[in-house]
Amino acid sequence: MKTIRAIFEGGVFRPTERVELPDHCTVEFEPRPVADVKLEAALDAVYDVLSERYESGEPDVAARHDEHQP
């Protein structure tokens, strides 16, 4: 049998697609949370931006790291 994805809402598992089982059929399953695809796509976009190099004009940024310390 294929894997069925469901969303847990209000104490009930709601399948996200049609399930080919007879009504009132007893099933057994082990819930396993899966990653949110939308969240992963958003994080990928953030990581793409963070991976870019930007020219600050300062050849050694670490050399000035104590400049604004009290």
Give residue-wise pLDDT tens across range 24-46.
999 998 888 887 667 777 888 88
pLDDT-derived band at 5, boundaries 50, 70, 90: confident
Report if pTM > 0.75: no
Nearest C-alpha neighbor of 29 from the set 15, 45, 46: 15
- Which range (7-11, 28-32, 54-58) has the least confidence? 54-58
**Residue 68 domain flag:** no
**Residue 18 domain flag:** yes
Number of domains in the chain: 1
Interatomic CA distance for residues 54 and 61, integer angstroms: 12
**Residue 64 domain flag:** no
Could you list the residue range(s) of the whole structural domain that residue 22 is in?
6-55
**Residue 24 domain flag:** yes
- Other beta carbons less than 10 A from residue 6's beta carbon: 14
**Residue 23 domain flag:** yes
